[in-house]
Amino acid sequence: MGTSTSSRGPGPNVSLDPPWIDDVLDGLGSGAVPAGDGEPLPPTGASGAAQPARYLEARRELKKFIKSGNADHLRDAIGHYSRKGSGGAGAASTRMRASTRGGAELFSFLTAVSQGASAEARQWVQDLQGKNPTADEVVDAIVRELSPPGGSADEESLRDSMASALTELVIENPDIDLMHLQTSDIWELMKSYLASEVTHRLCFDLGPLLESAKVDPVTAVQREREMRIFIKEEIGAHLDLLRDTKPNPSRSDLDAIFQETLKMTFELFEAGL
* Contact residues for 261 (Cβ-Cβ < 8 A; gap 6+): 194, 235, 238, 239, 242
pLDDT of residue 2: 44
Please check the confidence at residue 10 and state whether its pLDDT lies above 70. Answer: no
Phi-psi region of 43 (alpha: psi -120 to 50; beta: other; left: phi over 0): beta
* 14-56 pLDDT tens trace: 566 676 677 788 788 888 887 666 667 666 656 555 677 899 9
Q: Which residue has the higher pLDDT, 39 or 242?
A: 242
Helix locations, 40-182, DSSP H: 56-68, 71-80, 89-95, 97-115, 119-129, 135-146, 153-172
- Residues 211-240 have pLDDT tens digits of 777 888 899 889 999 999 999 999 999 999
pLDDT in tens, 140-190: 999 999 986 777 888 899 999 999 999 999 999 999 999 999 999 999 999
Question: 9: pLDDT confidence band, cut at 50, 70 and 90?
Answer: low
Close Cβ partners of 65 (under 8 Å, ≥ 6 residues apart): 71, 73, 74, 77, 223, 227
With cut-offs at 50, 70 and 90, classify the pLDDT of residue 8: low
pTM of the model: 0.90
Q: Mean pLDDT across the stretch 83-98?
A: 93
pLDDT digits (tens, 9 = 90+) for 59-86: 999 999 999 999 999 999 999 999 999 9
Contact between 178 and 114 (Cβ < 8 Å) = no
Task: For residue 43, give the nearest of 15, 21, 28, 27 by alpha carbon.
Answer: 21
The whole-angstrom separation of Cα 158 and Cα 166 is 12
Cα–Cα dist 186/108, whole Å: 9
